[in-house]
Amino acid sequence: MSASDKDIPRAQEMIRNRDPELTYGESMDVMKNKIYNPTFAGNGCYKIRASKNAQCCAGKVVGRVVAFDTPCCVWTPLFITPLLPLSALIGLCCCNCRDDNGLASYSFSDAKGNFTAYVPCDEDGTIACFTGNKFTDTVGDQMKVGYFLEK
């Protein structure tokens, strides 16, 4: 049993508790080990739940997002929040492409160093969302979860 195999029950508990210390690497380990059927939950409306260490609204639902799942990407053209007019004005949307790892994870990076990843992490269709910037933040396995999408 490898060190990461031993950490899987801990990571599963972190996912259940929406723990803000959950890392990208831990969530990918849970998915790679197929603890459940790792598929993207698909089209629909998701609640956006802030992580428990957020500056405001810690652990609370802060809005909703409509996701469209296609064979190669997940497109979230509409974040439904109290700032909807501002969201529409600035074009707040995201298109994450399926990762090459053969798993159900999706990610996106741009020329400015921004990175976003969606990782399905439990049997209820919860998605852990990770964001960072390679110039100012940690990007990679040590990124901490930013928020969760819940069906």
Kindly give the confidence (pLDDT) of every residue in the chain, 151 residues in length, as a single tens digit, with 9 standing for 90 and above.
444 556 788 888 898 888 889 999 998 888 877 665 555 556 778 888 888 877 778 888 888 877 776 666 676 655 555 555 544 444 455 667 777 765 667 788 878 888 888 888 887 878 888 888 888 877 788 889 988 888 8
The dihedrals phi and psi of 53, each to the nearest 5 degrees, come to -110, 15
Per-residue model confidence (pLDDT) at position 2: 43
Mind spelling out the 3-state secondary structure of 27-58? HHHHHHCCCCCCCCCCCEEEEEEECCCCCCCC
Domain residue limits, the chain: 3-150
User: CA torsion 87→109→61→32, rounded to 10°?
Assistant: 150
Per-residue model confidence (pLDDT) at position 22: 92
Q: Assign domain 3-150 to its CATH architecture.
A: Beta Barrel (2.40)
Per-residue model confidence (pLDDT) at position 138: 76
- Three-class SS state of 89: helix
Q: Which residue has the tokens 């974040």?
A: 79
Q: Is the pTM of this model over 0.85?
A: no
Q: Which helix (H) or strand (E) holds 123?
A: none
Per-residue model confidence (pLDDT) at position 146: 87
**Residue of 64, 48, 56, 131 whose CA lies nearest to 96:** 131
